[in-house]
Amino acid sequence: MADSELESALAKEGLAAEVIKVATEGGWTASAFKHVVETQAEVEGAIPEIFPGQILSRLQIAQIKAAWAGMQTSSSSSALPAPVNADPTLETWVESFAPKIASTKLSEMKRQFLANYPSEVLNPSTLPSLRLISLAAHQEARSEYKWIAWKHRMTEEKASELLIARPHKQPKLEMLGLSSLLLDDPPTIEVTDANMGISGIQRILAVHDVALAMVGSAHLARLKAYSCKFVQLVSQRFDPTSGLRAPTILEAQQADCRIWQSIHSLVSEKAWSLNDALHEFTEIRGELSTLLQARPKALFIPRGPDLKGKGKQVGQWKGLGKGQGRGKEKGGKPKGAPGRHITFVKEIQVGSEKKGLCVQWQIGRCTRGGSCPFVHACAYPKQAGANRVAGYDIQPAARPAEPVNVLPKSVSLLETNAGPVSSPAVQCPQGNVPSQPVLGDVTCNMPGRSRNEVTPGQERYFSGSGGIGILELWGAPRESFGPFISYGETWNALCVSRNILTSPHKDTANLPGSSNLTVGIGSYSDGGLWVEDQAGTVPQFIPKLGVTLPGKIVTTHHAPFKFPVHLWHCTQPWLGDRWVLTAFTLPGSS
């Protein structure tokens, strides 16, 4: 630009000719004046150098600034506007997939990869998909080694299968915006615990290693070292008794994401190379082992039958009640097996009339006691439709194979604690087992003692008149029941259970203020009774309350123990065959 342009620009703003002459004689041109400073605030500082020896007023300084600003505006307006998003590396708020690389570039990558790693084989089953290679190349160009989601890590063969299986859908333009039509929807694989195992993780990591090695991000050996350690930690096995398990597929995916986030931080913020970062997390740091460490197994608690018949049952109890269970459980009981289809008894024949069974009593919630108009009896049928009242069969049932009679064991225990019984056969005062014993107000037909059989996982309830009426019912002399009467109180019911593991509970159906007397017999070890005790040192979580209460563990094996019914209590695990006799008091019974 000639000097006349500078003169005209300054004269246009009204600057005096003699002042303009000083600048032009000093060698300043329009181009030099325009680039003397970067911002307008710096113009005033450069004026003494442009106009040496001149004392300028504020008006003249303002005229010079205006001339400089006018030259900046004219130069910017004459420049051509740059196209929007001309640079594909510009950051935008639109999330899109990486740009597709050209076929010639892909061929060059394959040739270079095979030259660097001659032992590797590239075919459709091992070659990364074009989208995966494009994404890896895009990250390599920007030096941003972010975590690539597992759903995008697939081979060219898998990508072709997904494209063939994808249905062709016509877009509904009235429901979609412009962005929905323009954004890409790349094919993805499903990553879940149900459809993927260790071999699936190996394929995902292997194709990712090849993709990064093809674009030159890291050496293939370093990538494979990370993948091998990852698979080794995920595939570890534990003894079933340890209560531990390996990470799931989704937990492993989350661990891989966390590691690559740390790797990206080292590369982008600490200027590490990708090879060094991979070596750091594979060989030096223990973060990978921590993220893939063993997890505790979920505790399996078997569910009992829901006599109310609400909801769907699972496991061995499926089919009980009137729930919404659908279909036949795979691997369950065969057709016709006991307990598959059970019809509970609703009413029973008592003497010459029929009486209904109390539903609340079945679940231990009946508080009406003797005023209850319904019969307190078990509604669970034993065999061929026969049911039990107060622990005895109403109708004679066939003797099961190899029955177990708990009575001799209980008598043997009582003999040990209170002296010998007059007769090992436990005769009644009349000399024979009664054929029509009276339990409360219910008359039962009990031809022989063999009806009092308890199989593993069962419990029977007995009731009678008086504190030890059920024991006297069997004909044993009163003095033989020392453990049950030495505490100075009486009970009207007895529970005989075999191998029953109870959760923390209170006996709310018992008479308020009464106590339970329990004793364990049989050949077993451990299996104590945890009882709530504010001074105890053994904590126990109470699921119904959602809190942990202090307590103590009492050994009841051949050692009767008495405790109030309002205390929380539960059974501890045992090993062997565990029988328990528990005397308690029901409300409303004489």
The last residue of a domain, from among 271, 296, 321: 296
* pLDDT at residue 174, rounded to an integer: 54
Strands (DSSP E) found in 523-576: 524-526, 529-532, 538-542, 547-554, 561-564, 569-571, 574-576
Q: Report the C-alpha gap between 85 and 495 in whole angstroms.
A: 82
Closest CA to 8 of 74, 54, 55: 74
CB atoms closer than 10 angstroms to residue 506 = 15
Which residues span the domain enclosing 67?
A: 4-74
Taking each helix axis from N to C terminus, what angle separates 103-116 and 198-214, rounded to the nearest 10 degrees? 100
30 plus 135 within the same structural domain = no
Q: 463 in a domain, yes or no?
A: yes
CB within 8 Å of 361: residues ≥ 6 apart = 372, 374, 376, 377, 509
55 plus 202 within the same structural domain = no
Q: What 3-state DSSP class applies to 321?
A: coil
125 plus 217 within the same structural domain = yes
**Pairing relation of β-strands 561-564 and 515-521?**
antiparallel
483 plus 533 within the same structural domain = yes
Q: What 3-state DSSP class applies to 424?
A: coil
The last residue of a domain, from among 296, 324, 349: 296
Q: Report the C-alpha gap between 245 and 476 in whole angstroms.
A: 54
224 plus 285 within the same structural domain = yes
Question: Count of H helices and E strands in the chain?
Answer: 18, 19
Q: 528 in a domain, yes or no?
A: yes
**Pairing relation of β-strands 493-498 and 459-463?**
antiparallel
State the CATH number of the domain containing residue 468: 2.60.120
Q: For residue 51, what are the CA distances in angstroms to 46, 252, 430, 464, 489?
A: 9, 72, 140, 124, 120
115 plus 59 within the same structural domain = no
- Looking from the CA of 159 toward its CB, the CA atoms found within 13 Å total 20
Which element (helix H / strand E) includes 75?
helix 58-78
Q: 523 in a domain, yes or no?
A: yes
118 plus 245 within the same structural domain = yes
DSSP state of 128: B
Q: Report the C-alpha gap between 156 and 124 in whole angstroms.
A: 5
CB atoms closer than 10 angstroms to residue 521 = 21
- Looking from the CA of 21 toward its CB, the CA atoms found within 13 Å total 3
Q: Are 529 and 579 in contact (CB under 8 A)?
A: no
* pLDDT at residue 553, rounded to an integer: 94
Q: 577 in a domain, yes or no?
A: yes
162 plus 63 within the same structural domain = no
Q: Report the C-alpha gap between 515 and 563 in whole angstroms.
A: 5
141 plus 25 within the same structural domain = no
* pLDDT at residue 126, rounded to an integer: 93
* pLDDT at residue 360, rounded to an integer: 81
Instruction: Give me the sign of the Cα torsion angle 242, 244, 245, 247.
Output: negative
Q: 483 in a domain, yes or no?
A: yes
DSSP state of 241: G
115 plus 25 within the same structural domain = no
CB within 8 Å of 39: residues ≥ 6 apart = none
Q: Report the C-alpha gap between 405 and 474 in whole angstroms.
A: 13
Q: 570 in a domain, yes or no?
A: yes
Q: For residue 103, what are the CA distances in angstroms to 87, 112, 128, 134?
A: 21, 14, 14, 11
Q: What tokens were used for 29?
A: 């041109």
* pLDDT at residue 555, rounded to an integer: 93
Q: For residue 529, what are the CA distances in angstroms to 15, 434, 454?
A: 106, 35, 21
- In the 3-class helix/strand/coil scheme, how is 252-263 assigned residue by residue? HHHHHHHHHHHH
Q: Are 583 and 560 in contact (CB under 8 A)?
A: no
* pLDDT at residue 3, rounded to an integer: 67
Q: What are phi and psi of 245, to 5 degrees?
A: -145, 160
Q: 346 in a domain, yes or no?
A: no
Q: What is the pLDDT along the chain (590 residues), one digit of tens a residue?
A: 446 788 888 888 888 888 888 888 888 888 888 888 888 778 888 888 888 888 888 888 888 888 888 888 766 555 444 444 444 444 554 456 688 888 899 999 999 999 999 999 999 999 999 999 999 999 999 888 999 999 999 999 999 998 888 766 555 555 555 555 555 578 899 999 888 899 999 999 999 999 999 999 999 999 999 999 999 999 999 988 888 999 999 999 999 999 999 999 999 999 999 999 999 999 999 999 999 999 998 877 666 555 555 555 444 445 445 555 455 445 455 554 444 456 777 787 777 788 888 888 777 778 887 788 888 877 766 554 444 444 433 433 333 333 334 444 444 544 444 333 333 333 223 333 333 332 222 223 333 333 344 455 555 555 443 333 334 433 333 443 455 544 556 778 888 888 888 889 999 888 888 889 898 888 888 889 999 999 999 999 999 888 999 999 999 998 889 999 999 999 998 888 888 888 888 887 55
CB atoms closer than 10 angstroms to residue 27 = 8
* pLDDT at residue 558, rounded to an integer: 86
End-to-end CA distance of the chain: 123
The last residue of a domain, from among 263, 296, 329: 296
CA 572 to chain centre: 26
Number of structural domains the chain divides into: 3
Q: For residue 267, what are the CA distances in angstroms to 222, 263, 271, 280, 487?
A: 15, 6, 5, 12, 77
Q: Are 374 and 356 in contact (CB under 8 A)?
A: yes
pTM of the full predicted structure?
0.40
Alpha helices in 478-521 (DSSP H): 482-485
Q: 379 in a domain, yes or no?
A: no
67 plus 145 within the same structural domain = no
Q: What tokens were used for 564?
A: 């109030």
Q: What are phi and psi of 513, to 5 degrees?
A: 85, -5
* pLDDT at residue 374, rounded to an integer: 84
125 plus 64 within the same structural domain = no
